[in-house]
Amino acid sequence: MAWYAGYLVIAAVVAMVIFVSACWFREEHFAAPDNPGVISALAGMLWPVLLIGVSEMALVWWAFRGARYA
């Protein structure tokens, strides 16, 4: 149960950071998205996918690097 709570807390923090940074760094002559809160929440929920992908790429790089010296 703690894993779910941790996931939701981190997802909420990521969503808030994305929402605030998107509003802060947005160019003024570009239109804002229709539902910035939904987009931020989606990004917050998808953060593990990015984390797993980066970890997998690092593992593959490490394996290839180790195989080169074997």
Pairwise CA distance, residues 37 & 14, whole Å: 12
Q: pTM score, two decimals?
A: 0.54
| Residue 15 CB neighbours (<10 A) | 21
Predicted confidence pLDDT, tens digits, the chain (70 residues): 777 788 778 878 888 887 887 777 766 666 666 677 777 777 777 777 777 888 888 888 888 887 766 5
Token pair in block for residue 61: 């790089």
Strand ranges (E), 1-70: none
